[in-house]
Chain A
Amino acid sequence: MKAFAELYRQLDASTASLSKQAALQHYLRAAPARDAAWAVYFLAGGKPRQLVPVKLLREQARLAADLPEWLFDESYDAVGDLAETISLLLPDPGEALDLPLADWMQQHLLPLRGKPPEELPGLLQTQWRMLAADQRLVYFKLITGAFRVGVSRLQVTQALAAVSGIDAKVIAQRLMGYTHIGAQPSAEDYAALVSSENAETGAQGGQPYPFFLAHPFNLPLAQFDAVLGPADGWLVEWKWDGIRAQLVKRAGQVSVWTRGEELVSDRYPELQAMGEGLPDGTVLDGEILVWRDGRAQPFAELQQRIGRKTLGPKMLRELPVVLCVYDLLEENGADLRALPQHARRARLELLAVAFPHLQLELSPVLSARSWEELAAQRERARALGVEGMMLKRRDAQYGVGRTKDVGVWWKWKIDPLSIDAVLIYAQRGSGRRASLYSDYTFAVWNGPQDDPARQLVPFAKAYSGLTDAEIRAVDAVIRKTTQETFGPVRSVTPTLVFELGFEGIAKSSRHKSGIAVRFPRMLRRREDKSVEEADTLATLQALLPGPG
């Protein structure tokens, strides 16, 4: 695992994609196939089921380091990452062995899963005694599964393509399902990834196609004609706020895959039922949405279904989902992705007519004679609960990932809602921001300025939108204005006001404020505003969409 630990170090240290690419290729060329199989699995986003309960891992690490709990917590607080904290605290190993990555996974780590809790301490301590210090971080990353090291799946795909000479699109297709949660990639699996045989791009079995992803488009309306050409060259739809998914029906089997390549067929039995009515060799691309009263419901409702493994009849009745479809990737077993967008759309519409189903909703095409007319229609987006519009070139093929070479999809989102809120709690970040207070909880007032009894009510957490320099400045204020510390969280005397942006807003009984916002982030620090001038709950409530 020494080579893999070194790769991890290089990927982690570098911010340049060229040097990351070089490091990936260097590793893949040298690594035995059975190790490369696991390396690709983790770097492409694979995560095995929990091997050891985090609490037990933490406790065993604390015991091995011989530290009192509070000191372990202080250390964790300073580092901000459990795997890294443990790797820094363990005593020096006895006789360190350099075992291959595949051996670590198959002989030591995977067998930990499901072991009775009383056996785990002994097994872990034995492993730690033979684990070389420079391989610790990667070992604990394998266990905790939080592998983020700044490598995208696309970069892994490109590296595999470069070392194998196989087209990146073929690699992307072969990688579909490779990072499945229960996968145990072997040397054969790796060989199949980079094999020169069967180098066509078709999907097999229950596999989806690589998702085609959109690019953001934020130019002013006046430039649309110049940049995009006339509006009639584009197929325009709403941008839905749900879960992007493909429904695959082949050989009588229905599989529903999310964009994160999670197989979620079991979670949405109504989609499974809908798929069973479709002909074999059909692949639909669309959005999973909670659909009621003839319209999409806020993402917050879908969220209640996402985490559930067991679905009672009540939930299925109250939170029914549909697949809101906008593309047809395979028909009668034929891959349609090279057809132009409009042709795929025409076939999709015929299919929707031929196989009507309550859980199959066709995403409407928005027609207009000009960009101005579309912009006017876009004004309704908020009321409809959508994020804006999708602009798809009528002649676009269905590409692989976030590419533009065979066609392009743009997402033309509406401006975020915004509100001025007060920072009341701060927590340390992780990764690059470990040890800086970079994750904040924001509040608004529950009464007007002349109400002496009014209080600040927390309503959103946000951690993005500031530059590193701004975070450092805010971090300094937080340290100076701390009132209390609860573990990693500090409460502060309210002094900081931020303009928060968010994409959507909905009522929520699960939040103290009675309101849930979607994708909150900091737009800017309002140094010109005092805490008293921050917005109120009433302002927030006024942003709630009206009925219909």
Chain B
Amino acid sequence: MRAEADLIIARPEGLYCPPGDFYIDPWRPVERAVITHAHSDHARYGSAHYLAHHDSAPILRRRLGEDITLQTLAYGESIEHHGVRLSLHPAGHVLGSAQVRLEHGGRVWVASGDYKLEDDGTCAPFEPVRCDTFITESTFGLPIYRWPTQPELFADINAWWRANAEAGRASVLYAYALGKAQRLQFGVDASIGPIIAHGAVEPINEIYRAAGVVLPPTFHATDPALDKSMLGRSLVIAPPSAGRTSWMRRFPNPSDAFASGWMKLRGTRRRRGVDRGFVVSDHADWPGLQSAILATGAERVFVTHGSVDVMVRWLCEQGLQAQGFTTEYGDHDEADDASAHSPTEELPPAA
């Protein structure tokens, strides 16, 4: 009985809503796809109709093609489809990221996509949505993952950048081009030196600026205004794939750093082989996952991608009905190397 009544079930194509006959973030082409956010493991090519938040539109078109059939909604705006009332609510993950709220036959389900709780200033902050059943991610679903606060984080990054600038060294900060890169540019103290955005980052910056996010001015690496002394004071924001490429050679004696939640662990930090690891994630940490789940008031919780088994067991011990959903989101098995994370959050460099 229960399975038939479920508003969302796992199908080979993705998470499916039977009464509404649509999918949420499907990993195979389908007729109708609701997209929580534009990272490549959630927004995939080939579906006939897409529905997403307004702010996701430019990135989705850039990634999936200008000619996709795309309908957009504002946060809180609702539509009805085959008797299912659907609305999008801020997930705080990246620009345009949304939780999907479904209401049908008196029941409310929320699929969160990816989310984080702390407001980083570059996208609408996470809003808890009351529901009966909540579908949560669990990328960092272990209690070892607790993020520093924004002020602590940026104090560390600024101190690193400042020390490098004083020594005439460029500061190269690797971060995913969509979301994390903009969050870092927004949060750093831009008075320390010029900020140089890699070719994969700048087009996303433009999209953020067009959506009203105030980012500091950024330079293109080949800008003639950048003389050697400016390069030696610069903060370079680049996707991880730009490491060890000839593009990097233009920066004098650079100090490099990696921005990722995985940097919380020494092992992953050292495997990365960079000078510094900054703990920055656009996913919720362990306390964040717990408080988000609690705030929904949900009695049933489905856990997707990440530490599924741990979260399910923990939530069951807390008295909730929890179970896992097998999905093909974020191929980041437990504490895998951050490089395995790249399909999630990386965009190809602009042509």
A contact set with B: CB distance below 8 Å: 12-15, 65, 67-68, 70-71, 74-75, 78-81, 84-85, 88-89, 429-436, 468, 472, 479
Contact = CB atoms under 8 A, between A and B. Distances in A.
Contacts of B333: 479
Contacts of B276: 13
Top-9 shortest CB links A-B: A434-B267, A88-B144, A435-B335, A432-B270, A78-B335, A75-B144, A435-B267, A74-B310, A75-B142
Interface string B233-269: 0000000000000000000000000000000111111
Contact of B267 (A13, A15, A71, A436): A436
Interface residues of B, number: 26
Interface in B40-81: none
B310 A68 contact: no
B11 interface: no
Interface in B265-284: 265-271, 273, 275-277
B265 A79 contact: yes
A81 B269 CA distance: 14
Interface centre among A13, A81, A429, A479 (most CB of B within 10 A): A13
A12 B335 contact: no
A79 B267 contact: yes
B266 A71 contact: no
A385 B129 CA distance: 72
11 contacts: A13-B277, A68-B317, A71-B143, A75-B142, A75-B144, A78-B142, A85-B144, A89-B143, A431-B267, A435-B268, A468-B271
Given A68-B317, A84-B265, A12 B270 contact: yes
A433 B271 CA distance: 7
Contact of A71 (B264, B271, B314): B314
Contact of B334 (A78, A88, A89): A78
A54 to B, nearest CB: 19
A23 to B, nearest CB: 12
B245 to A, nearest CB: 18
Nearest to B264: A88
B275 A431 contact: no
Contacts of B337: 436, 472
Contacts of B335: 78-79, 435
Interface of B: 142-144, 146, 264-271, 273, 275-277, 307, 310, 313-314, 317, 333-337
A71 to B, nearest CB: 6
A81 B266 contact: yes
A68 B318 CA distance: 12
Contacts of A67: 143
B16 to A, nearest CB: 26
A74 B307 CA distance: 10
Contacts of A74: 142, 307, 310
A63 to B, nearest CB: 14
A79 B310 contact: no
A142 B275 CA distance: 24
A295 B143 CA distance: 56
Contacts of B314: 71
Contacts of A15: 270, 273
B272 to A, nearest CB: 10
Nearest to B271: A432
Contacts of B307: 74
B266 A84 contact: yes
A431 B266 contact: yes
A89 B266 contact: no
Contact of A431 (B144, B270, B310, B336): B270
A322 B146 CA distance: 55
B310 A435 contact: no
Contacts of B271: 432-433, 436, 468
A79 B144 contact: yes
Contact of A89 (B144, B277, B336): B144
A78 B264 CA distance: 11
Contacts of A12: 266, 270
Contact of A435 (B273, B275, B334): B334
Nearest to A435: B335
A468 B273 CA distance: 11
Given A78-B334, A84-B266, A431-B270, A70 B143 contact: no
A434 B313 CA distance: 23
B144 A434 contact: no
B143 to A, nearest CB: 6
A13 B274 CA distance: 8
Contacts of A89: 143-144
A476 to B, nearest CB: 9
Nearest to A15: B273
A131 to B, nearest CB: 16
B144 A78 contact: yes
Given A13-B269, A434-B267, 11 more contacts: A12-B266, A15-B273, A71-B142, A71-B314, A85-B144, A88-B144, A89-B144, A432-B270, A434-B265, A436-B267, A468-B271
A433 B277 CA distance: 16
A81 B271 CA distance: 15
Contacts of A434: 265-268
A103 to B, nearest CB: 26
Contacts of A79: 144, 265, 267, 335
B147 to A, nearest CB: 12
